[in-house]
Amino acid sequence: MRTPDPTDAAASTSSSKLLPTWLHVSDIQGLAQLATQATLGITGLAETVQGNVYKAVAAPFGPLGAKFIDRMPGGSGVRRAGITGLVYGSIKGVTRLAGGAANALLSRAAPAAGQQASAPQREAMLAALNGVLGDQLQETANPLAISMSLRSEGRPLLLEPQALAARLPGATGKVLVLVHGLCMNDLQWLGDPASPQGHGGYLARELGYTPVYLHYNSGLHTSANGEQLANLLQQLIKAWPQPVQELALLVHSMGGLVARSACHHAAGAGHSWLAQLKSLVFLGTPHHGAPLERLGSWVDGVLGSNIVTRPFAKIGQVRSAGITDLRHGSVLQTDWHHAGRFERGPDARQALPLPAGVDCYAVAATTLAAGSGPLVPVKEALSRKMIGDGLVSLESALGQHAEPARTLAFAPENQWIAQGVNHMGLLHRPEVARQLVRWLRARASDAG
């Protein structure tokens, strides 16, 4: 019998520290699936690059050169019968075998682990992965994929009257639904030292709203998330334990596009919640797109224009449907259904106005603090067109567009610019919260 080596225990302890303790078994299973897919993708990329080099070198030699490459349509160019093709095939085969074995082992371990509480670090990881890869996670049934739900304190709400009454004992007739943005989660509305309760808690204290928070896969198409949200809000209003006096939506970044899509779907489906929606407040929403996604599209085009660099465009095309919807601010299925997501082209969106009969408000932000000097006009012009809050320009956040039909009709008094605030600061800054209270209190006074 082998004598136990003390270094074995140390090595085991050391290896266990490689993975964060807040990961669930299902998370490890999902990450293992992603690792397998990534290895296959990188192997395929290397094979395609090598094949394109072969094609470029063989092209001047005409029929003679063509004998040394794989001419199958859609093929990499590397001949499968050759040594190079054998190497790539072996790597893919071993990777699939190892990935399948790991997935089977972890699938058996997951039920035994039982239900675990989810840590904020885990929620942030899941949100980021879903924002970038959410459509692929859903298509491959990866356990990391987020299913849309309404939550309170990070836990899903059962949309049934008795269950809601038990979870929200202080529920009022004023319902506030907060919708996060790309790569984010509902917990990020909370927990900032400057605003521990976040905007939801502040509006509850000042105006009597009961906040609930949407949690969703931000990597899906905006139109898909909009339809899901419309259906979920219908269930929420029907199950609310108090007579609903009003519904308000507070939305950040991409969440604003999802909310506009939900309103459009609700109007077509005849949902009753739309008539109860009184206020819709946008925080830094890219109504007409975000510059970074347009830059990503341009890079795709440059890489794809050359036979050797063309495979590298696939790396950029890993980004999700949710991200590519941000190129122009697409909210409807017709905006993307008949076009390739990565094809460069003009803004062909269907113009969609703000929902009728709803008081809509737009908060934009600029990272530039108020100041004076000869460069101020230049800085303001850059902020309006490009810089804005660091991710969304002022024009896009305020719904302004060169084409009048695309301009969103926010009343002048319903627009506000936060100075010296970045995109994430819109979630917590106290001056933003105070502006929300001013608007919603004035709306209530006017309605009364």
Q: Over its length of 448 residues, how does the chain's per-residue pLDDT go in tens digits?
A: 445 454 444 444 444 456 678 778 777 777 777 666 655 455 554 545 444 444 444 445 455 445 444 555 555 444 454 444 444 354 445 445 544 544 555 455 445 444 567 888 889 888 988 988 889 889 989 888 999 999 999 999 999 999 999 999 999 999 999 999 998 999 999 867 666 789 999 999 999 999 999 999 999 999 999 999 999 999 999 999 999 999 999 999 999 999 999 999 999 999 999 999 999 999 999 999 887 654 444 444 444 454 444 444 455 566 788 888 888 888 999 887 766 665 666 777 889 999 999 999 999 999 886 554 444 454 555 555 557 888 899 999 999 999 999 999 999 999 999 999 999 999 999 999 999 999 999 998 888 6
The pair of three-digit structure tokens given for residue 418, joined into one six-digit string: 């936060």
- The fold for domain 149-289+349-447 equals Rossmann fold (3.40.50)
According to the model, what pLDDT value does residue 308 have?
A: 44
Position 285, amino acid: T
Residues 330, 177: Cα–Cα separation, whole Å: 22
According to the model, what pLDDT value does residue 157 have?
A: 97
CB atoms within 10 A of CB 32: 18
Residues facing residue 215 across a β-bridge: 149
Work out the end-to-end distance of the chain between its first and last CA atoms, rounded to an integer number of angstroms: 85
The pair of three-digit structure tokens given for residue 433, joined into one six-digit string: 């919260």
**Pairing relationship of beta strands 174-179 and 149-152 according to DSSP bridges:** unpaired
Q: Which of these, 34, 58, 201, lies nearest to 129 by C-alpha position?
A: 34
**Pairing relationship of beta strands 155-156 and 149-152 according to DSSP bridges:** antiparallel
CA 68 from chain centre, in angstroms, equals: 45
Query: Could you write out the three-class secondary structure of the chain?
Result: CCCCCHHHHHHHHHHHCCCCCCCCHHHHHHHHHHHHHHHHHHHHHHHHHHHHHHHHHHHHHHHHHHCCCCCCCCCCCCCCCCHHHHHHHHHHHHHHHHHHHHHHHHHHHHHHHCCCCCCHHHHHHHHHHHHHHHHHHHHCCCCCCCCCEEEECCEECCCCHHHHHHHCCCCCCEEEEEECCCCCCHHHHCCECCECCHHHHHHHHHHCCEEEEEECCCCCCHHHHHHHHHHHHHHHHHHCCCCCCEEEEEEECHHHHHHHHHHHHHHHHCCCHHHHEEEEEEECCCCCCCHHHHHHHHHHHHHHCCCCCHHHHHHHCCCCHHHHCCCCCCCCHHHCCCCCCCCCCCCCCCCCCCCCCCEEEEEEEECCCCCCCCCHHHHHHHHHHCCCCCCCCHHHHCCCCCCHHHCCCCCHHHEEEEECCCCHHHHCCHHHHHHHHHHHHHHHHHHC
According to the model, what pLDDT value does residue 283 have?
A: 98
CB 116 within 8 A of CB 24: yes
Residue with tokens 């682990």: 113
CB 212 within 8 A of CB 178: yes
Answer whether 0.85 is exceeded by the pTM. no
CA 159 from chain centre, in angstroms, equals: 24
Position 176, amino acid: L
CB atoms within 10 A of CB 424: 19
CB atoms within 10 A of CB 140: 14
Q: Which of these, 213, 188, 179, 217, lies nearest to 323 by C-alpha position?
A: 217
Residues 412, 391: Cα–Cα separation, whole Å: 23
According to the model, what pLDDT value does residue 438 have?
A: 97
CB 283 within 8 A of CB 250: yes
